[in-house]
Every structure is written in structure tokens, then in C-alpha cells.
């Protein structure tokens, strides 16, 4: 069970991000979440989209270097302590988190979603599931 | 496959025979220059040398040098050895390092030059069965006309595409089944990269050999070009001032370029003192043209740094070999007092799995030189984790420091953002105002 994250290489220059979003917009790719990691001269944009294949094709044709990585999509109860509970489970299971970012679900569902990039994705998923935490996969994301 | 030669009696001549030929031609050439080139005669007189002092190649060191500055000073007609009415062609340098140099040719000069190029094509395995695509620029640049003439002499079907229009280049290679490609190594790499993107594998590309020159390139770049195009890649060397490509060329041994010694005498000198260095030592390459009529340069300093080798070559040719120049001394950058050749940077990049397309930006910030090596990100190198990329970036920076002796910044840039060259690649941007 995983969510497919697209990571895109961008130079750290004015206008490079909007060049990429333009390509995605023109091809009707819907973004669900976005996070940026940057250094002085380049950055990596991490995207969660509705249609991974379409987005990947668009990016390839537009000449962007990118790859697709499976990451963990976790349902977080939208209440105080919701994220803490999830992190606690991961800590106890000795799961190292490489990076993570949040995106909000529809308010009506009462959930927020977090994307986790961890060293051992399968172990993390098992630990969370045992404690009753709901995970989402790419199909769920597409339907959000 | 047995080694073939275009002019075996010359290319495989015993050393004694070659020395006798060089002696005879040098003596004659010095007289020709003395009688016809007042500019050089004056230089000889200043040095107190007359043609009588030059009896054999052992006396070569007595002659004064010619430098690029002399060529500029004598521009355009000052070094001509024949009246204009005897000349049929000019060629000219790209002028990247200053004022253009214009060289003149009689029909005889062109014939000999084309023979030299024909030797290179045959050494690369070319026969009259081959289809030879010449993707060097035609026109003032010597690359196109030289290899074109050589290709005709060998009897190859010649495709004079000239440089540029990459799609059309690939179309001709595919449709007319070109077997030999002649262009700059950077353009060969670009053609290879493009064909790979089009989904062509080396066995689908009809080329079997390439003759690449006009810029310095590394052994690693040779491997890369050979792999992507499925060919053997041969180096060729030359200067407009001496004729053009074909002053020297590689044979099947791919271990240095045989100098056409029946036309050019090579010396290696200490670039600072002008002293001739013993054979085998590295220094500046100096050429004396012993057959050129219209533009007969004696002891011309090339600014190329390399060494010569008389080791017996398995190909059977007896002409001395020059090792790949580390780079023209014009290309040499002095960064924080250290000599840096772009070819050294290229070697490191390829060793670390980066593409051969790169740019070097030199600047001066707060009175300190900065070196920024820009390389394009590739799918193979890319990773969703910043740490992994930064680690590779640091490894490359460390590799550059150990090769160059100075630290360099490595910048990763977007694919295709470094301009592809169809002729000589622009590798260095020096922003320093000195």
C-alpha cells in the first residue's frame, strides 16, 4: 500500500517552478500536495497528483528530470495530538523518517493526510496498521 | 583486419629515409622562405642566421620562432611565400582567441593537405566502399574542406552535411548508411546523445568509425562516444596555420597521433625558455612546415602542450606520435595561480558518471578566483532525497579538488540548459576582469 510521489529536479532560479506548474496545468494534472526541498542552486519538488502516469508523461515531454518513489500516505485524525500519535508509533517501531509533509483532506472527512518518506516503508505500514492508523494508497488519493 | 595505409612507402618509411627527406626539404624550404618572406628573413637576420647555416634538421634549433602574435602582425599578406596569383584558396581560424589568422594555399598545398586527411581516413579503416559524412563546418574553417578532400581521395562516398541541423545529420546517417563520421568530439557526443534519446541502439547505427578533432578531448570522452555510437573514435589534429586537420592522426592503436613527418617537423620546447627538450618530455609543440608553398611557417609555436613518442607502433607506421595535447595553452586557465585545463575537468566528470556536457565559469570575487563547474542533472543521478544528491555533488567536488589541486564548486543545472555546440564547444566562460 503506497502513494506514488513524483520528485522533480528544478534549478533554484526565478520562474522554474511556475514553468513546471504550467506544464501540469495545461495537461489537467491535479495536484494533491506539494513540498519543496532546496539548496542554494537547485531544488527538488515533491508532488502527489491524481494521475501519476499522466503527470510523469507530461514532465518527461517537457524535459524535466524526475522520478517516482513509493511513499507512505497516512490518515491523521484532524484533532490535537493526531500527528503526535502517529509519530509515537513510528518512534516505538524504530522507523527513521527521511522527510514528511502534510496535506489537508476535505474538511468533511475529519482527516488530514501526511506523506512520510521512511527507510523501511513496509515495517512502518505494519506498525501503523497494528495500532489502527488508516493508510491511503494512490487510488484513494486519486479519488480525494 | 590487416592495417591499410594511404601512402605506405611514406607512412612506413624507415627512419633514416625520413630524416634524409626532411633534411632535403628543410634546406629547400628555408631558402624558399629567405627568398620570398621578408618578414621571416628579417627575423633570421636579427638572429644572425642565413640559409647556409641550415644544412640538416639538426640545425633547426638555430631558426627563430614564429608565434600567433607574428601571424597577427603580418596579417594578411606578410607571411606569404608565393604571389597571390599562384594561390587558389584561403582558410581562416575561428578567431576565438583574438584576431583571425588567414592562411593561403596553392593547388599543390591543397593536394598535400588532402593527402594528409586521406591518410587519417584510411587509418580509421576507410576505403572506397565507405560512406563518409563530414559534419565539420565547411567554409573558412578547415575541418569541412580538409576531410572532404581527404574523403574524395580515398574514394568514399562523401556526404558534405557541414555542421548543424542535427535531425538532418541523423537522417543522412540512417538513410544513406554512413559508416564514417567526421566532426568535433563534442558534436559527436551530442549526436550520440540525441540518437540514444530517439531510441537508437549502437547496433542500429550504421557508423563504424569517427574522426574527431579541432578541440581537446579526454580518453573518457572517447569511451563514451564509442559506446553510444558503437564505433571506434579516432583523434585527428591540425592547425589552420599549418594546413588544417591532418597534421597528425590516430591509427588503430589509438595511442597517440602519427605526425605526417614528410610535411611537418615537430619539436617540443620549454614554453618559458624556448629551449628544445629531449624527446619524450612534455612541453610546447612547435612545427616547421617543409612542403607548404603559399604559407610556409618555420618553427611555429602551437601553444599545445604535449609530448612525442618514437615507440614502435603496432600499426606499422614509423612516423613519430604526439600524445593527446593536454589542451592548447590558450585553453589553459590560471585559477588561483594553478594551471587548469578544461580536459582535466572533463576527465573527472566522466569518471564520476556525469555527462560530457559541461561548462566552466571562472570569476573573481573579493580578489579570489572562483571556479564553478556546471553539469547537467541526469535521470540516473537524480534522487528524491536532497542528501543523496548533495553527497554525490560533494564527491565530485572532492574529485575535482584532487585532480586540479584547487577547490571547485559544482553546480547541478537543468538538462539541456548548457548550450550544445555544433562546432567547437564553448566550455569556459571567464568573467574575470583583470
**Residue A77: band (very low, low, confident or very high) from pLDDT cuts 50, 70, 90:** confident
pLDDT of B332 strictly over 80:
no
Q: What is the largest CA-CA distance in chain B?
A: 74
CATH fold of A3-69: VC0802-like (3.30.2130)
Chain A residues inside the 8 Å CB shell of B389 = 42, 44
Of the listed ranges B200-204, B290-294, B363-367, the least confidently predicted one is: B363-367
The pLDDT, as a whole number, for residue B322 is 97
Name the residue in chain B with its Cα closest to that of A99.
B385
Q: What average pLDDT is seen over chain B? A: 92
Of B13 and B325, more confident: B13
pLDDT of A70 higher than 90: yes
pLDDT-derived band at B94 (thresholds 50, 70, 90) equals: low
Q: Comparing C-alpha atoms, which of B242, B4, B40, B287 is closest to residue B126?
A: B4
List pLDDT tens digits, range B247-256: 999 999 999 9
- Residue partners of B309: CB distance under 8 A and separation at least 6: B256, B280, B320, B321, B322, B323
Q: How far apart are CA B413 and CA B411, in angstroms?
A: 6
Query: pLDDT value at position A140?
Result: 85
Residue B68: pLDDT band (50, 70, 90) is: confident
Q: What is the DSSP string of B336-371?
A: TTEEE-HHHHHHHHHHTT--S-EEEEEEEETTEEEE
Residue % of chain B over a pLDDT of 70: 96
pLDDT tens digits for B230-274?
A: 999 999 999 999 999 999 999 999 999 999 999 999 999 998 899
Of B204 and A102, which is predicted with more confidence? B204
CA distance B429 to B417: 15
**Positive or negative: CA dihedral B57, B63, B65, B70:** negative
Cα–Cα distance between A74 and A113 in angstroms, integer? 6
Interface A–B counts its CB contacts (< 8 A) at 52
Least-confidence region, from A45-59, B78-92, B302-316, B343-357 = B343-357
pLDDT at B1 over 70: no
pLDDT in tens, A8-57: 999 988 888 999 999 999 999 999 899 999 888 899 999 999 999 999 99
A9 touches B: beta carbon within 8 Å: yes
Distance from CA of B380 to the nearest CA of A (A): 9
CA angle B178, B181, B187 (to 5 degrees): 130
**Contact of B222 with B228, CB cutoff 8 Å:** no
Residues 48-67 of A with CB under 8 A from B: 63-67
Whether the per-residue pLDDT at B311 is higher than 80: the answer is yes
Say if residues B356 and B319 touch (Cβ distance below 8 Å): no
As a whole number of angstroms, the distance between CA B262 and CA B7 comes to 11
User: Do B379 and B386 form a contact (C-beta atoms < 8 A)?
Assistant: no
Report the pLDDT value the prediction gives residue A108, as an integer from 0 to 100: 62
Residue in B184, B188, B191 with CA at minimum distance from that of residue B94: B184
| Chain A interface test: which of B370, B374, B384 (most A C-beta within 10 Å) | B384
List, in order of start, the domains of chain B with CATH numbers.
1-328 (3.40.50.12780), 333-430 (3.30.300.30)
CATH 3.40.50.300 fits A70-143, yes or no: no
pLDDT given for residue B406 in this prediction: 83
Question: In the beta sheet, which residues pair with residue B56?
Answer: none
Q: Is the pLDDT of residue A107 over 70?
A: no
Alpha-carbon dihedral B160, B162, B165, B171, rounded to 10 degrees:
20
CA distance B375 to chain A (A): 12
Q: Where along chain A do the CATH 3.30.2130.10 domains lie?
A: 3-69, 70-143
- Nearest by CB: A37 against B382, B386, B413: B386
Question: Minimal CA–CA distance to B192: which of B135, B121, B125, B249?
Answer: B135
pLDDT value, residue B252? 96
Q: Judge if the upstream peptide bond of residue B133 is cis by omega within 30 degrees of 0.
A: no
Q: What is the mean pLDDT of residues B330-357?
A: 80
Handedness of CA B63, B64, B65, B71 (dihedral sign): negative
Residues 6+ apart with CB under 8 A from A79: none
The minimal CB distance from A46 to the residues B379, B384, B415 is found for: B384
CB < 8 Å to A9, chain B:
377, 382, 412, 414
pLDDT band, very low/low/confident/very high, at A104 (cuts 50, 70, 90): low
pLDDT over threshold 90, residue A99: yes
Quote the pLDDT of residue B434.
55
Please compute the mean of the pLDDT values over residues B211-215 and round it to a whole number. 89
- Stretch 359-418 of chain B: residues touching chain A, C-beta under 8 Å: 377-379, 382-386, 389-390, 411-417
Q: Is the pLDDT at B98 greater than 60, yes or no?
A: no
- C-alpha cell, B158: 562523401
Q: Which residues pair with B401 in a beta bridge?
A: none
Is B336:B404 a contact under the CB 8 Å cutoff?
Answer: no
| Digit-coded pLDDT (tens) for B174-185 | 999 999 999 988
Complex-level ipTM? 0.80
* Residues B310/B312/B317/B321 CA torsion (nearest 10 deg): -30
Q: pLDDT value at position B256? A: 96
Closest CA to B403 of B373, B432, B378, B423: B373
Amino acid at each position: 500500500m503506497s502513494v506514488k510521489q513524483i520528485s522533480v529536479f528544478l534549478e533554484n532560479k526565478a520562474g522554474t517552478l511556475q514553468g513546471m506548474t504550467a506544464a501540469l496545468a495545461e495537461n489537467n494534472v491535479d495536484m494533491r500536495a506539494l513540498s519543496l526541498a532546496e539548496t542554494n542552486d537547485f531544488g527538488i519538488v515533491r508532488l502527489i497528483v491524481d494521475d501519476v502516469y499522466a503527470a510523469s508523461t507530461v514532465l518527461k515531454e517537457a524535459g524535466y528530470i524526475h522520478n517516482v518513489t513509493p511513499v507512505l500516505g497516512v490518515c491523521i485524525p484532524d484533532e490535537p495530538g493526531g500527528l503526535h500519535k502517529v509519530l509515537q508509533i513510528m518512534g516505538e517501531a524504530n522507523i527513521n523518517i527521511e522527510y514528511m509533509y502534510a496535506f489537508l483532506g476535505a474538511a468533511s472527512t475529519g482527516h488530514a493526510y501526511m506523506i512520510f518518506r521512511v527507510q523501511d516503508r513496509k515495517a512502518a505500514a505494519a506498525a501503523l496498521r497494528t495500532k489502527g492508523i488508516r493508510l491511503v494508497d494512490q487510488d484513494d488519493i486519486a479519488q480525494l | 583486419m590487416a592495417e591499410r595505409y594511404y601512402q605506405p612507402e611514406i607512412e612506413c618509411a624507415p627512419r633514416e629515409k625520413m630524416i634524409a627527406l626532411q633534411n632535403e626539404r628543410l634546406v629547400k624550404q628555408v631558402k624558399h622562405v629567405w627568398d620570398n618572406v621578408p618578414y621571416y628573413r628579417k627575423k633570421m637576420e636579427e638572429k644572425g642566421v642565413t640559409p647556409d647555416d641550415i644544412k640538416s634538421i639538426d640545425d633547426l634549433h638555430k631558426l627563430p620562432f614564429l608565434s600567433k602574435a607574428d601571424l597577427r602582425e603580418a596579417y594578411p599578406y606578410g607571411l606569404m611565400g608565393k604571389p597571390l596569383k599562384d594561390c587558389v584558396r584561403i582558410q581562416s581560424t575561428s578567431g576565438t582567441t583574438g584576431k583571425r589568422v588567414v592562411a593561403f594555399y596553392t593547388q599543390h598545398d591543397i593536394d598535400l593537405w588532402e593527402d594528409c586527411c586521406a591518410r587519417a581516413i584510411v587509418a580509421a579503416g576507410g576505403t572506397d566502399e565507405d560512406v563518409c559524412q563530414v559534419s565539420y563546418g565547411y567554409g573558412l574553417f578547415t575541418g569541412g574542406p580538409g576531410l572532404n578532400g581527404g574523403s574524395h581521395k580515398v574514394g568514399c562516398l562523401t556526404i558534405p552535411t557541414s555542421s548543424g541541423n542535427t535531425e538532418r545529420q541523423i537522417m543522412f546517417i540512417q538513410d544513406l548508411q554512413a559508416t564514417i563520421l567526421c566532426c568535433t568530439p563534442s558534436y559527436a557526443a551530442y549526436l550520440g546523445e540525441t540518437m540514444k534519446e530517439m531510441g537508437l541502439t549502437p547496433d542500429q547505427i550504421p557508423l563504424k568509425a569517427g574522426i574527431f578533432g579541432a578541440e581537446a578531448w579526454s580518453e573518457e570522452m572517447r569511451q563514451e562516444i564509442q559506446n553510444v555510437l558503437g564505433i571506434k573514435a579516432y583523434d585527428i589534429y591540425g592547425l589552420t596555420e599549418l594546413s588544417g586537420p591532418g597534421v597528425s592522426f590516430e591509427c588503430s592503436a589509438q595511442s597517440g597521433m602519427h605526425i605526417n613527418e614528410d610535411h611537418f617537423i615537430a619539436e617540443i620546447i620549454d614554453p618559458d625558455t624556448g629551449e628544445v627538450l629531449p624527446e619524450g618530455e612534455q612541453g610546447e609543440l612547435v612545427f616547421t612546415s617543409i612542403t607548404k608553398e603559399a604559407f610556409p611557417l618555420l618553427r611555429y609555436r602551437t601553444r599545445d602542450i604535449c609530448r612525442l613518442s618514437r615507440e614502435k607502433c603496432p600499426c606499422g607506421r614509423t612516423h613519430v606520435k604526439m600524445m593527446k595535447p593536454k589542451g592548447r595553452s590558450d585553453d589553459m586557465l590560471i585559477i588561483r595561480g594553478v594551471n587548469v585545463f578544461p580536459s582535466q575537468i572533463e576527465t573527472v566528470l566522466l569518471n564520476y558518471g556525469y555527462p560530457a556536457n559541461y561548462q566552466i565559469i571562472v570569476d573573481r570575487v573579493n580578489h579570489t578566483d572562483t571556479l564553478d563547474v556546471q553539469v547537467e542533472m541526469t535521470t540516473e543521478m537524480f534522487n528524491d532525497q536532497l542528501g543523496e544528491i548533495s553527497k554525490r555533488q560533494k564527491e565530485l567536488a572532492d574529485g575535482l579538488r584532487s585532480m586540479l589541486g584547487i577547490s571547485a564548486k559544482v553546480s547541478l543545472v537543468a538538462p539541456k540548459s548548457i548550450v550544445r555546440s555544433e562546432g567547437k564547444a564553448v566550455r569556459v566562460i571567464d568573467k574575470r576582469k583583470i
